[in-house]
Chain A
Amino acid sequence: GDSVTQMEGPVTLSEEAFLTINCTYTATGYPSLFWYVQYPGEGLQLLLKATKADDKGSNKGFEATYRKETTSFHLEKGSVQVSDSAVYFCALNNFNKFYFGSGTKLNVKP
């Protein structure tokens, strides 16, 4: 079945460091890919998405490129801030069923 695998956390970085969170997927057909972010005590919010191969999703300085050849959708940010501390979830949508990875907690220290 369809699934998403992402790197385990927590990831701890200093402010202004470079961020990469790895995500790979298994799916039949041509799924859409997403990154969601969850702040403490809240529901998930869409961060960015890509709907086809080689698309790049971007938002708030975060980027991810849909790589069909490696079935990956890694999240990157060039310079993280303390306010980016949250849990990040990679997800896919295939035939209107959404599957989520286990989440990666990011801690950014001043």
Chain B
Amino acid sequence: NAGVTQTPKFRILKIGQSMTLQCTQDMNHNYMYWYRQDPGMGLKLIYYSVGAGITDKGEVPNGYNVSRSTTEDFPLRLELAAPSQTSVYFCASSSTGQGPTNEKLFFGSGTQLSVL
């Protein structure tokens, strides 16, 4: 199983550029999340989605946008990149079903983004 797939793995942007971080999961999970991890810090929730067509803000949504047109895909959009958005971005998904994997977050391998 592929699990949660993020692309790209690395990216360098200039200030003001825009880009989309892609995230796809093949586990039919309802819930999907975007986190950012700054050096030496924990994960901060940017946006999350409880199902196709439904998204909501997390702790640090400013400067980002998301969409959820399908169950599988949850892209994160940066419109005007700023140095403060330099971070490692993780996409994750989870299921609300019964069983041992209920509530478990499955993480992608991350995208390291630098804005210069």
Instruction: Give residues in A with beta carbon < 8 Å to B.
Output: 4, 32, 34, 36, 42-46, 49, 51, 89, 93, 96-103
In the bound complex, what is the Cα–Cα distance between A45 and B110 (angstroms)?
13
Q: Which residues B42-60 have CB closer than 8 A to chain A?
A: 42-45, 48, 50, 58
| Contact A93 B109, beta carbon cutoff 8 Å | no
Q: B74 interface residue, CB < 8 Å from A?
A: no
| Contact A97 B48, beta carbon cutoff 8 Å | yes
In the bound complex, what is the Cα–Cα distance between A44 and B104 (angstroms)?
11
> In the complex, which residue of chain A has the Cβ closest to the Cβ of B31?
A96
> Shortest Cβ distance from A10 into chain B, in angstroms?
10
Contacts A42-B109, A43-B90 given; does A93 touch B43 at CB 8 Å: no
Residues of B within 8 A of A43 (CB): 90, 92, 107-110
| Contact A100 B43, beta carbon cutoff 8 Å | yes
| Contact B105 A96, beta carbon cutoff 8 Å | no
> Shortest Cβ distance from A51 into chain B, in angstroms?
7
> In the complex, which residue of chain B has the Cβ closest to the Cβ of A105?
B40
User: Max chain A CB contacts within 10 Å: which of B31, B43, B44?
Assistant: B43
Residues of A within 8 A of B58 (CB): 97
Q: B71 interface residue, CB < 8 Å from A?
A: no
> Shortest Cβ distance from B97 into chain A, in angstroms?
12
> Shortest Cβ distance from A60 into chain B, in angstroms?
16
| Contact B42 A103, beta carbon cutoff 8 Å | yes
| Contact B50 A45, beta carbon cutoff 8 Å | no
From B43, B103, B108, B110, A89 is in contact (CB under 8 Å) with B43
